[in-house]
């Protein structure tokens, strides 16, 4: 992924030879690249959207989108308030919970938390992180880590 501080690109390489195959223009100031079936998706951060490689908008949200976690039962997208660099630490953040079909379900608000940089699902692996477990031992957290309830 090339963020490019504007129109962004995804670079595709052969997994065996590591040779460059092609680049795909996708979104603006993108973060988070993941695949769902044959679809490549990114957070088009500055546009407040999740878009696919065919430039289709999957969802539009209110904020700077960065951080994604997807399971078979829900989608989580991180949202930050737009602010100058020196004021970002004092801004509100949130996580938009969406159904598998991209329908907004619930918004989890985090007042004055600063920007959201990443979303990880602690109760298991998610589609956005290539089967990699979260980089945290959940036993160090206070209390149990349960399933997300958003109904």
pLDDT band for position 105 (cuts 50, 70, 90): very high
The residue with tokens 């993108």 is 30
Q: In whole angstroms, what is the distance from residue 82 CA to residue 64 CA?
A: 6
Inform me whether the pLDDT recorded for 41 exceeds 80: yes
Give me the percent of the chain exceeding a pLDDT of 70. 88
Q: How far apart are CA 90 and CA 83, in angstroms?
A: 9
- The beta-carbon contacts of 49-57 under 8 Å, at least 24 apart in sequence, are 50/77, 50/102, 51/26, 51/27, 52/26, 53/10, 53/24, 53/26, 55/25, 55/26
- 52, 82, 104, 127, 129 from 36: Cα distances, Å: 10, 28, 19, 7, 11
Q: Give CA–CA dist 120/148, Å, rounded.
A: 12
Quick: pLDDT tens for 74-86: 999 999 987 677 7
Is the pLDDT at 150 greater than 60, yes or no?
no
Stronger pLDDT, 100 or 112, i.e. the higher one? 100
Per domain, the residue ranges of the chain are 7-131
pLDDT of 141 reads 63
pLDDT at residue number 39:
95
- Rounded mean pLDDT of the chain? 87
What does the block give as tokens for 117?
A: 């940089």
Q: Residue 124: pLDDT above 90?
A: no
The arithmetic mean of pLDDT across residues 97-106, rounded, is: 95
């Amino acid at each position: 992924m090339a963020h490019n501080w504007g129109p962004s690109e995804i670079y595709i390489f052969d997994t065996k030879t590591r040779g460059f195959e092609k680049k795909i223009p996708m979104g603006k100031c993108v973060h988070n690249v993941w695949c769902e079936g044959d679809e490549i998706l990114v957070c088009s951060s500055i546009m407040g959207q999740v878009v696919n490689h065919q430039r289709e908008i999957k969802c539009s949200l209110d904020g700077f989108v960065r951080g994604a976690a997807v399971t078979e039962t829900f989608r989580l997208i991180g949202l930050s308030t737009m602010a100058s660099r020196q004021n970002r630490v004092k801004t509100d953040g949130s996580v938009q919970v969406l159904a598998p079909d991209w329908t907004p379900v619930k918004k989890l608000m985090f007042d004055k938390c600063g920007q959201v940089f990443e979303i990880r699902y602690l109760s298991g692996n998610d589609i956005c992180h290539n089967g990699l477990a979260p980089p945290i031992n959940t036993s160090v957290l206070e209390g149990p880590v349960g399933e997300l309830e958003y109904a």
